[in-house]
Amino acid sequence: MPGMTACEKILARASGQTDIAPGDIIDAKPDVAMSHDNTYLVHRSFRDIGASRIADPSSIVVVLDHRSPANTVNSANTHSAIRKIIDELDIGWFFDVGAGICHQIMIEKGIAKPGALIVGTDSHSTTYGAVGAMGIGIGATDMASVWVKGSLWLKVPETIKVGLSGRLAMGAFAKDISLALVGELGAMGADYCCLEFNGDWVAEASLSERMTLCNMAAEAGAKSALVPGTVISDSDARSSRAIAIKADSLEPMVSIPNSVDKVAPVSSMEGTVIDQAFLGSCTNGRLDDLAVAASILTGRKVHEGTRLIVTPASSQVYLQAVEGGIIGILLKAGAVVTASGCGPCLGAHQGVLADGESCISSSNRNFKGRMGSRNASIYLASPATVAASAIEGKIADPRRYLG
Amino acid sequence: MKCGRAWVFGDAVDTDVIIPGQYLDNYSPDFLAKHVMEGIDPTFSSRVAKGDIIVAGKYFGIGSSREQAAIALKAAGVGIILAESFARIFFRNAINLGMLPIVCPSCARMFRSGDELCVDVEQGKVSDSKDPKRSLDFQPLSPMLSKIYEAGGLVNLLRAEIHQRNR
């Protein structure tokens, strides 16, 4: 019998089994279950089931981040209802508006722990792989079943091994690796699979970089993603596929509308006029992301007629960026700095796009209508490329401003 | 046998076009139904009728975990979605809401919008009611998923289980 991958070991433990294989259907008990503004929907299903108590309230995390602070009366009423639910059901962890984006909070507060199985009502729950946890995105009714039973059925995924080696050249970042990888795998190339990141680049990557990698795995359709931590794959573990990417040869990349896997080197996209640049999201709204943008924007101005929206991923990131002088640099350059949350990334508020506009964004999705008008265009890139593009008012190569 | 009018879409119909993010502050199924598929076809919601069947290419429901995508389609009257493949989370959401997501390779090439399709869930067969020779086979749901679907969704199934236990 072959050995097990890290993901298989985590799922085996969570389902009380010793040996499981891809394709097996298991009943797994998540260590943590996270939901955001859609907790309202989770509770609606929970109530309709007729349940009165949560199986393990201490394992439940709720973060208000998607429309935060409330942007409409409907959102405000949703938040208000959720605050009552938190009290009534004695939910273990609650983060109110402004605390930050759920995935950032889960890692920043140490709730996502190495080796844990975590489910979240958000497709980017794969982010927890950055600390060696297995994060899986689910829907609201599946989450309600976790509230009721403390477990849910899962199919054991195949593992795709992704080897990242070498060093990134100046101007290329973790986001560029992610975009190249999604381009290589395709938008659903990792459907039902777990991506496992290894190699010397990963070994030296920062927590923030690992979060970007695991976060963007969702854009290849991955069920989960993992940088092995305390739980590692056996040397003879089965994997369905292996991919190798050499960091040295990567140029800054851009994903072009309307599919994340349509990627091109920034050099081929230079000159595309943009109306808005967005720096933020669970993918790239952390301190290092804001810092690299500030290093590019120091003493420079956002192009006239172009908007730069900056959304720190959490209030902690925001505070550190204030104390480190980063926010001051961004404001002097002409940026609009918003409250921490998801807002612009999903077209909820704080930077919605108009008909015919183009935006370069450090976020994770460029689907039609994602950030507002269905007639707007979204280009995805690293924070450095976003900052350089904000200066020029068109897609720009960040290497001109670095080094 | 369940029959309905087909609406054919292409590949990678994502959750942002099924229900755009700007509408996610309202959880009313009827409200969501008014905006369903707006990102692809703003006229769809006013033309779709109860029992209509969606036929799509690869990766239907790719993207967000938002259950509102499946809720909006269900509230608009869509009970069956045939697609060459589904995104994982959307597939689970659809089953959990008592909808029938059917993996049916080449369906988007075989059928046309406006076809009257009949789906035989037990036999795993979908055919054009006017020209039954135009038909495709599909793998029926696994027993576990079938149990959720037959119950009318996961909420109903769990409610029945709790009821059983309390008796």
User: What CATH number was assigned to the domain covering residues A255-400?
Assistant: 3.30.499.10
Could you write out the three-class secondary structure of A262-282?
CEEEHHHHCCCECCEEEECHH
Q: pLDDT class for B166, splitting at 50, 70, 90?
A: confident
A67 lies within 8 A of chain B by CB: yes
Give percent of chain A with pLDDT exceeding 70.
100
Query: Tokens in use for A120?
Result: 């979240």
Residues 346-385 in A contacting B (C-alpha not used; CB under 8 Å): 346-348, 352, 365, 367-370, 372, 374
Q: Are A367 and B63 in contact (CB under 8 A)?
A: yes
By the CB < 8 Å criterion, does B68 face chain A?
yes
Q: What percent of chain A has pLDDT over 90?
A: 99
**Architecture of domain A157-250 in CATH?**
3-Layer(aba) Sandwich (3.40)
Tell me which chain B residue has its CA closest to the CA of residue A136.
B89
Looking at every residue in chain A, the average pLDDT score rounds to 97
The answer to pTM > 0.95 is yes
Query: 3-class SS at A142?
Result: helix
- Chain B residues within an 8 Å CB radius of A344: none
In angstroms, the separation between the Cα of residue B32 and the nearest Cα of chain A is 13
- Measured CA distances, A287 to A29, A316, A318, A360, A376 (Å): 33, 9, 8, 19, 28
Task: Give the CATH fold of the A8-156 domain.
Answer: Aconitase; domain 3 (3.30.499)
In this predicted model, what pLDDT tens digit does every residue of A54-85 receive, in sequence order?
999 999 999 999 999 999 999 999 999 999 99
A358-361 and A134-137 strand pairing? unpaired
Q: Which of A68, A233, A149, A171 is nearest to A381 (CA)?
A: A171
Does a cis peptide bond (omega within 30 degrees of 0) precede residue A69? yes
Angle CA(A202)–CA(A340)–CA(B14) in degrees, nearest 5? 70
**Tokens representing residue A100 in the block:** 């930050």
Helix A207-216 with A287-297: angle, nearest 10 deg: 100
Instruction: Give the count of domains, chain B.
Output: 1
Query: Which chain B residue lies closest to A345 (C-alpha atoms)?
Result: B21
DSSP readout, A293-310?
Answer: HHHHHTT--PPTT-EEEE
Pairwise CA distance, residues A179 & A362, whole Å:
11
pLDDT above 80: residue A1: no
Mean pLDDT of A348-364: 97
Name the residue range of residue B137's domain: 2-166
So what's the ipTM on this one? Answer: 0.97
Q: Please determine, for residue B165, whether its predicted confidence score (pLDDT) is greater than 90.
A: no
Q: Which chain B residues are Cβ-neighbours of A47 within 8 angstroms? A: none
- Using the Cβ of A191 and the Cβ atoms of chain B, whether some distance falls under 8 Å is answered with yes
pLDDT for B167? 79
Token pair, residue B127, equals 């055919």
Mutant choice from A37, A39, A46, A49 vs B, greatest count of B C-beta within 10 A: A49
From B15, which residue of chain A is nearest by alpha-carbon distance? Answer: A367
Equal fold, A8-156 vs A157-250: no
How close does chain A come to B70, measured CA to CA in Å? 10
In angstroms, the CA A62 to CA A92 distance is 8
Burial of B16 (0-12, 13-18, 19+ CB in 10 A): buried
What is the DSSP annotation of A162-205?
EEEES-PPTT--HHHHHHHHHHHH-TTTTBTEEEEEESHHHHH-
Residue of B58, B62, B85, B145 to mutate for A, most A C-beta atoms under 10 A: B62
Q: How far apart are CA A128 and CA A215, in angstroms?
A: 8
Q: Is A403 a residue whose pLDDT tops 90?
A: no
Model pLDDT, residue B41: 94
pLDDT tens-digit profile of B11-59?
A: 999 999 999 999 999 999 999 999 999 999 999 999 999 999 999 999 9
Write the CATH number for B53.
Answer: 3.20.19.10
Residue A131, pLDDT score: 98
Among B18, B32, B37, B67, the residue to mutate for chain A (most A Cβ within 10 A): B67
Contacts of B88 in chain A (CB under 8 A): 191-192, 221, 223
Dist CA B53 CA B31 (whole Å)? 20
Mean pLDDT of A315-331: 98
Q: Give the residue from chain B lying closest to A48, CA to CA.
A: B155
Q: Which band of pLDDT confidence, cut at 50, 70 and 90, is reported for residue B112?
A: very high
DSSP class of residue A156 equals P
> To the nearest whole angstrom, how far is the Cα of B85 from the nearest Cα of chain A?
10
Residue A2's pLDDT band (cuts 50, 70, 90): confident
| pLDDT tens-digit map of B61-97 | 999 999 999 999 999 999 999 999 999 999 999 999 9
Across the range A220-246, mean pLDDT stands at 96
- Residue ranges per structural domain of chain A: 8-156, 157-250, 255-400
